[in-house]
């Protein structure tokens, strides 16, 4: 795209934008081939390195879509969501939230506290203030800037080692301390003059140190935080290459006066001024663009005010592709009208109007989710939803609800796939019984337990328009693994599924509905498969002859366990039947298993299948749908670790026949899943969710490669089980 006839620094210019970048800047050609921008002035999109929130949202809400859209409308094209002084888990949640948004781009985060001085906390929450903690900071993903008080213990080492831009702020440090911090690497003052000592002729303080060392300074030029004369003073002292304009905006920005939550405290906004209950100014309610214009109105040159909100902050945070109009830079542009008001905004080569389309679709989905969620009785106010990309059957969303105390609590909303689960009400009855049973066991262990919420009418589900089936459960915070490298995690996963089986050993199996008949009846699965091969409704069988031949060869072996079960040689137990490691939630800190989730297929089944399905998933060297089958094998060390965990918990209860056929269980279930994937491929991909047309075929080949390797290693697999049984 060519933007023609723009004023760039007063010169009529054409700007070419390709692939999100500026690829040419030339004197206006008058060719008339591009988009005519006659009368408009172009400046770079604004970069806000210090902003907390707007339109009712705060960075601590860990949800950026609405904020980024508002920022984009108002000329901020990239930003660092800035966290507040809060507990570690709340900050971690922010860094883990999805950063793909329709509006202003997220370049990373600015962590403002908790490593600050209580005496200068301003609107920060004193309860969470502490000394710098390198290990904690390093565990947070995406941090780009941190504000600390350099007088705190350990700050010099922290500044040296933390690896991001350090700003001095919320500090009571004297000049000498600040000089030492700057020598250690600190390179900026956070909202200069606010929340720090001022300049005194015998105590130059942080500002004196900053001036002497010529570091960067942030300034809130909203006209409230600094007197206009002080803004000019900073400008004269530091110049446009060192002074950075920030908004420090809070969630009331873009809304009216009222009372808002900010960092766990109530903030009142009156006539646009936000204050804590003690009267401290609590962030601004101005956009960065308003701050730029106000700075210019105080008498500093407009071009410099723009630079201080574009190139200078971009350089400071190490984002040289931002904040400038140059060949090779990101195409983030503001087109201004004759009154220097924003007419159009471009982010990464796309005008915000196009981006709004995505935002509208997002809001539509959100409204639908909000309506469904409102039918369930859960505490708090719905704030946001995120799609959870996990599971091959149901659609899953994480919902965040704001609680009265300002904290955020999450829930899981699921739309059950009724093509797969034909009798979802029966599933919910099963789950109710099973979770009640498990809660009784778990209470003593002081671990979190799954619970489903009911609607006003008392059911633990909601059926929408006689078709879509929805349910809502608590979100248990922790980690689930799609692939596992750590042997400890594997051992823990084995123990979790073993324990799960134990906890259900006294559950009356006859009270459970069969949610999917013959779910792990491998012989039946094979019958269905060969029928599909015969019928070949999509004409795909010819292309998978090799796979079909291999499955035919393995048919007898893969049917052995079904036959043993039918002959009463191995017992039916209440089993999980979907023992992937992403169905266990692990404690983030200790790695201990917290709970087993996804109870849809809890039914009478074989212990060897639960063991085997987990091995198939987690003891493989590759993910379940790895396209390069050369990468797929059974990792015997992982296998042993999982087996140690699982058998360690179940050995006492297992019969000799079960122990003897554990390894066979893994081979069987791997072949069975390959057969299921291939059946779905042959019959038109109706069962499993697929991400691309050949996905089920890729999955099939991956599972077959794994099964082949297991067949080779069968003796060793059996030996490992015997060794473990002998040792427990
Ligand atoms: C399905 O939905 P999800 O991802 O938990 C499937 C399992 C398969 C698994 C393979 C009800 O589980 O049987 O092993 O995909 N669940 C059902 O990833 O068919
Ligand atoms: Mg499942």
For the CA of 669, the closest atom of ligand 1 is 14
Tell me what pLDDT residue 54 has: 97
- Give the separation between CA 71 and CA 52, rounded to whole angstroms: 11
Question: What is the C-alpha to C-alpha distance for residues 42 and 226, in angstroms, rounded to an integer?
Answer: 28
Topology at the third CATH level for domain 374-474: Phosphorylase Kinase; domain 1 (3.30.200)
- Helix (H), strand (E) counts: the chain: 21, 31
Q: What is the pTM of this model?
A: 0.89
Query: Do residues 384 and 61 make contact, with C-beta atoms less than 8 angstroms apart?
Result: yes
User: Of the ligands numbered here, which is closest to the C-alpha atom of 417?
Assistant: 1
3 state SS of 167 = strand
- Which atom number of ligand 1 is nearest to the Cα of residue 600? 11
Q: What does the domain layout of the chain look like in residue ranges?
A: 45-334, 374-474, 487-727
Is 703 within 8 Å of 623 (Cβ atoms)? Answer: no
Residue nearest to atom 4 of ligand 1 (CA): 391
Q: How far away, in angstroms, is 391 Cα from ligand 1 center?
A: 7
Using alpha carbons only, give the angle 240, 246, 252 rounded to the nearest 5 degrees.
160
> For domain 45-334, is the CATH number 3.30.70.1710?
no
* Ligand 1 pocket test, candidate residues 396, 578, 581, most atoms within 8 A of CB: 578
CA R_g for the chain: 30
- Residues in contact with ligand 1 (CB, 6 Å cut-off): 391-393, 420, 578, 598, 601, 624, 673
Question: Residue 420: what are its φ and ψ, rounded to 5°?
Answer: -85, -50
Condensed to tens digits (0 to 9), the pLDDT of residues 335-393 reads: 999 999 999 999 999 999 999 999 999 999 999 999 999 999 999 999 999 999 889 99
C-alpha distance across the termini of the chain, in Å: 70
> Which distant-in-sequence residues (6+ apart) come within 8 Å of 534 by Cβ?
none
Nearest residue (CA) to ligand 1, atom 3: 391
| Residue 292: closest CA among 338, 249, 244 | 244
C-alpha to C-alpha distance for 168 and 195, rounded to whole angstroms: 10
Domain 487-727 has CATH 3.90.1200.10: yes
Local structure of 83: helix, strand or coil: strand
Ligand 2 centroid to Cα of residue 230, in Å, is 62
Distance CA 167, CA 220 (A): 15
Query: Which residues of 445-536 form beta strands (DSSP E)?
Result: 462-464, 468-474
In whole angstroms, how far apart are CA 408 and each of 259, 375, 378, 673?
A: 18, 19, 13, 39
Angstrom CA distances, 597 to 412, 451, 460, 582, stand at 11, 10, 16, 9
> For residue 687, how far is its CA from the centre of ligand 1 (angstroms)?
10
Cβ atoms 601, 516 nearer than 8 A? yes
The token pair that represents 632 in the structure block: 């797929």
Q: What's the gap between Cα 415 and its chain centre? A: 20
Residues in Cβ contact with 350 at an 8 Å cutoff, skipping those fewer than 6 apart: none
- Distance (Å, whole) CA 55 – CA 284: 13
Closest CA to 697 of 670, 671, 679: 679
Predicted confidence at residue 276, as pLDDT, reads 87
Using CA atoms, how far apart are residues 89 and 139, in angstroms rounded to an integer?
A: 11
Chain centroid to CA 552: 43
Distance 393 CA to ligand 2 centre (A): 7
Give me the DSSP letters along 604-651. EE-HHHHHHHHHHHHSBSS-TT-S-GGG--B-HHHHHHHHHHHHHHHT
Catalytic residue flag (residue 248): yes
Helix, strand, coil distribution of the chain in percent, nearest 5: 40, 20, 40
Ligand 1, atom 7, residue with closest C-alpha: 578
Q: How far is the CA of 576 from the centre of ligand 2 (A)?
A: 9
Catalytic residue among 14, 222, 248, 600: 248
Note the pLDDT tens digit of each residue in 599-654.
999 999 999 999 999 999 999 999 999 999 999 999 999 999 999 999 999 999 99
Cα separation of 192 and 120, whole Å?
A: 13
Give the number of whichever ligand sits closest to the CA of residue 613: 1
Residue with CA closest to ligand 1 atom 15: 392
Residue bearing the CA closest to ligand 1, atom 1: 392
Q: Across the 728 residues of the chain, what is the mean pLDDT of every consecutive 10-residue run?
A: 96 97 96 94 98 95 96 98 96 95 97 97 92 97 98 98 98 98 98 97 98 98 96 98 97 90 82 87 92 97 98 98 98 97 97 93 96 96 93 96 87 96 95 90 78 94 92 94 94 96 91 94 98 98 98 98 97 96 93 93 96 98 97 98 97 94 98 98 97 97 98 98 94
d(CA 95, ligand 2 centre) in Å:
28
Q: What is residue 600's three-state secondary structure?
A: coil
Substitution site in 388, 389, 390, 392 for ligand 1 pocket (most atoms within 8 Å of beta carbon): 392
| Closest-lying ligand 1 atom to the alpha carbon of residue 617 | 18
- Choosing from 580, 581, 702 the residue with most ligand 1 atoms within 8 A of its CB, the one to mutate for a pocket test is 580
Buried b (16+ CB within 10 A) or exposed e, 193-213: bbbbbeeeeeebbbbbbbbee
Ligand nearest to the CA of 699: 1
Residue nearest to atom 14 of ligand 1 (CA): 578
Total count of residues recorded for the chain: 728
Cα torsion 390, 593, 596, 724: sign: positive
Which among 181, 184, 189 has a CA at the least distance from the CA of 211?
189
Distance 497 CA to ligand 1 centre (A): 16
- What is the Cα–Cα distance from 367 to 137, expressed in whole angstroms? 36
Tell me the best of 390, 393, 610 to mutate to test the pocket of ligand 1, counting ligand atoms within 8 Å of each CB and taking the most: 393
């Amino acid at each position: 795209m060519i933007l023609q006839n723009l004023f760039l620094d007063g010169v009529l210019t054409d700007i070419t934008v390709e692939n999100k970048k500026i690829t040419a800047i030339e004197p206006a050609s008058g060719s008339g081939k591009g988009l005519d921008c006659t009368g408009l002035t172009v400046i770079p999109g604004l970069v806000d390195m210090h902003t907390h929130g707007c339109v009712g949202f705060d960075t601590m809400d860990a949800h950026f879509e609405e904020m980024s859209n508002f920022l984009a409308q108002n000329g901020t094209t990239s930003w660092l969501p800035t966290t507040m002084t809060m507990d570690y888990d709340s900050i971690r949640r922010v860094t883990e939230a999805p950063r793909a948004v329709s509006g202003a781009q997220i370049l990373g985060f600015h962590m403002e506290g908790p490593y600050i001085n209580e005496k200068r906390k301003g609107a920060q929450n004193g309860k969470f203030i502490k000394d710098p903690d390198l290990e904690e900071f390093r565990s947070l993903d995406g941090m780009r800037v941190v504000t600390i008080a350099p007088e705190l213990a350990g700050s010099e080492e922290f500044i040296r080692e933390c690896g991001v831009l350090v700003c001095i702020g919320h500090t009571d440090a004297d000049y000498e301390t600040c000089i030492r911090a700057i020598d250690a690497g600190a390179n900026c003052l956070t909202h200069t003059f606010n929340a720090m000592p001022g300049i005194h002729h015998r105590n130059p303080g942080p500002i004196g140190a900053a001036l002497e060392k010529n570091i960067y300074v942030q300034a809130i030029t909203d006209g409230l935080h600094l007197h206009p004369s002080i803004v000019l003073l900073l400008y004269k002292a530091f110049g446009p290459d060192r002074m950075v304009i920030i908004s420090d905006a809070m969630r009331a920005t873009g809304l009216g006066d009222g009372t808002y939550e900010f960092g766990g405290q109530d903030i009142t906004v009156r006539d646009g001024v936000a204050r804590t209950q003690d009267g401290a100014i609590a962030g601004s309610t101005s956009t960065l663009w308003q701050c730029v214009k106000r700075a210019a109105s105080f008498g500093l040159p407009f071009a410099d005010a723009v630079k201080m909100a574009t190139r200078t902050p971009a350089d400071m945070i190490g984002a040289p592709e931002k904040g400038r109009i140059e060949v090779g830079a990101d195409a983030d542009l503001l087109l201004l009208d004759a009154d220097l008001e924003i007419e159009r905004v471009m982010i990464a080569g796309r005008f915000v109007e196009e981006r709004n389309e995505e935002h509208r679709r997002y809001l539509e989905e959100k409204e639908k989710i909000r309506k469904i969620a409102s039918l369930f009785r859960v505490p708090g106010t719905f704030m946001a939803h995120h799609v959870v990309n996990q599971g091959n059957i149901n659609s899953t969303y994480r919902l965040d609800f704001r609680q009265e105390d300002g904290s955020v609590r999450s829930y899981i909303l699921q739309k059950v796939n009724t093509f797969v689960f034909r009798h979802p009400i029966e599933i919910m009855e099963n789950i109710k019984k099973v979770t009640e049973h498990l809660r009784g066991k778990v209470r003593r262990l002081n671990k979190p337990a799954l619970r489903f919420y009911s609607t006003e009418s008392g059911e633990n589900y909601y059926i929408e328009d006689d078709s879509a089936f929805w349910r809502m459960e608590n979100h248990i915070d922790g980690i689930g693994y799609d692939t596992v490298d750590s042997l400890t995690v594997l051992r823990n996963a084995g123990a979790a599924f073993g324990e799960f089986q134990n906890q259900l050993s006294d559950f009356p199996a006859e009270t459970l509905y069969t949610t999917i008949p013959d779910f792990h009846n491998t012989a039946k699965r094979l019958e269905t498969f060969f029928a599909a091969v015969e019928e070949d409704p999509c004409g795909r069988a010819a292309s998978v002859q090799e796979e079909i031949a291999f499955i035919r060869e393995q048919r007898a072996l893969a049917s052995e366990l079904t036959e043993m079960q039918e002959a009463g040689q191995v017992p039916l137990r209440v089993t999980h039947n979907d023992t992937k490691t992403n169905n266990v939630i692990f404690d983030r800190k200790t790695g201990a298993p917290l709970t087993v989730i996804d109870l849809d297929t809890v039914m009478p089944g074989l212990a060897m299948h639960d063991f085997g399905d987990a091995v198939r998933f987690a003891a493989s060297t590759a993910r379940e749908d790895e396209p390069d089958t050369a990468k797929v094998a059974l990792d015997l060390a992982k296998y042993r670790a999982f087996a140690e965990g699982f058998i360690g918990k179940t050995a006492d209860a297992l019969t000799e026949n079960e122990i003897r056929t554990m390894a066979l269980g893994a081979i069987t279930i791997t072949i069975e899943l390959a057969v299921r994937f291939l059946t779905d491929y042959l019959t038109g991909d109706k069962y499993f969710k697929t991400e691309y047309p050949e996905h089920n075929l890729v999955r099939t080949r991956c599972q077959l490669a794994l099964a082949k390797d297991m067949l080779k290693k069968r003796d060793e697999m059996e030996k490992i089980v015997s060794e473990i049984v002998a040792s427990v």
